[in-house]
Copies of this chain bind each other. A is one copy, B any other.
Amino acid sequence: MNVSDQSLANQLCFALYRASRLYIKLYQQALQPFALTYPQYLVLRMLWEADHQPLHTLGTQLDFGSNTLTPLLRRMEQRGWIQRRPVATDRRQLIIHLTDQGRQAQIPVSQAIQQLTSQQQLSPTEGQLALVENQAIIADLQHLLAHQSFIKEK
Q: Could you say which interface size class chain A belongs to?
A: 35 or more
CB < 8 Å neighbour of A9 from B19, B117, B138: B117
- Tell me, yes or no, whether A87 is within 8 Å of chain B by CB: no
Contact B20 A16 (CB under 8 A): yes
- Nearest residue in B to A130 (C-beta to C-beta)? B133
B1-A145 in contact (CB<8A): no
Interface stretch (choices A25-33, A52-60, A74-82, A93-101): A25-33
Q: Does A63 contact B (CB under 8 A)?
A: yes
Give the one of A1, A2, A121, A129 with max B CB within 10 A. A1
Copies in the complex: 2
Rounded to whole angstroms, the CA-CA distance of A16 and B25 in the bound complex is 13
Task: Kindly supply a per-residue 1/0 record for chain A positions 99-137, scoring 1 wherever the CB is within 8 Å of any chain B CB and 0 otherwise.
Answer: 000000000001001101111111110111111011111
Kindly state whether residue A85 has any CB partner on chain B within 8 Å: no
Contact, CB under 8 Å: B127 / A12: yes
List A residues at the B interface (Cβ < 8 Å). Answer: 1-3, 5-6, 8-27, 29, 38, 42, 45, 63, 110, 113-114, 116-124, 126-131, 133-138, 140-145, 147-148
